Amino acid sequence: MPKLGMEPIRRRQLIDATLASLHENGFADTTVSRISARAGVSTGIVHHYFQGKGDLLEATMRAFSSDLRQDVVRRLKRARTPRERVEAVLAGNLAPMSFSAVGVAAWLAFWAQVPKAVRLARVQNIIIGRLHGNLRHALRQMVPLADAERIATGLAIMLDGIWLRAALRGGKPDAAAARQLLIDYLDCQLAAQQQRC
């Protein structure tokens, strides 16, 4: 008699083990057998719940981005003003759940695969699009469209730089300093825009 409902459990186990291994071993040393060992299952199981290693990696990237997204959405719902919405997006991208040692390390590993892995590139595009969209939409209510576009791009790129640096430095990322840098950029740009009017 087969155990029922194991699928979501096993998938999550393997995805978590993949994230952990990306952080601990790096992409090159994240093998199927290491992932399954960390998940406490056999190697064969990976191909039972995923089509292969590539599929597992893609699922991991999606799961991670989905977590991040949900956090941002939750924060956006609580935001009352456009400014609060911008800050909600930034805060969501710096929340400890995602902006962690494991998170940034895994994400850097994914980035490096994007240029050659079409499936991962697709996920990456969606994430970038969502981030830009969220920022643009909120900023649009504070400044003209062209400025909103420009500032959104600046914030998004700076956010990428922040994640990258966090991954390169290792250790627990400093969310406070990161937030400071972004808010500083935001304030400066908004002030300059005000002045031009």
Q: Are 165 and 94 in contact (CB under 8 A)?
A: no
Is 159 a binder of a second copy (CB under 8 A)? yes
Q: Indicate which of a second copy, DNA, none lies near residue 124 (CB less than 5 to 8 Å, by partner kind).
A: a second copy
- Interface with DNA by CB under 7 A: which range of 5-13, 63-71, 100-108, 177-185? 5-13
Cβ proximity to a second copy, 128 vs 145, nearer residue: 128
Minimal distance, residue 117 CB to DNA, in Å? 12
Query: Angle at Cα 109 formed by Cα 104 and Cα 110, nearest 5°?
Result: 95
Minimal distance, residue 78 CB to DNA, in Å? 38
- Please report which helix (H) or strand (E) contains residue 20, including its range: helix 6-25
Q: Which long-range contacts (CB under 8 A, 24 or more apart) does 120-125 make?
A: 120/57, 120/58, 120/61, 123/58, 123/61, 123/62, 123/65, 124/61
Minimal distance, residue 67 CB to DNA, in Å? 22
Near DNA by CB under 7 A: residue from 12, 24, 26, 54: 54
Is 47 a binder of a second copy (CB under 8 A)? no
Near DNA by CB under 7 A: residue from 52, 115, 129, 133: 52
Query: Angle at Cα 126 formed by Cα 189 and Cα 35, nearest 5°?
Result: 115
Near DNA by CB under 7 A: residue from 24, 26, 43, 184: 43
Minimal distance, residue 109 CB to a second copy, in Å? 6
- Neighbour tally for 75: CB within 10 Å: 19
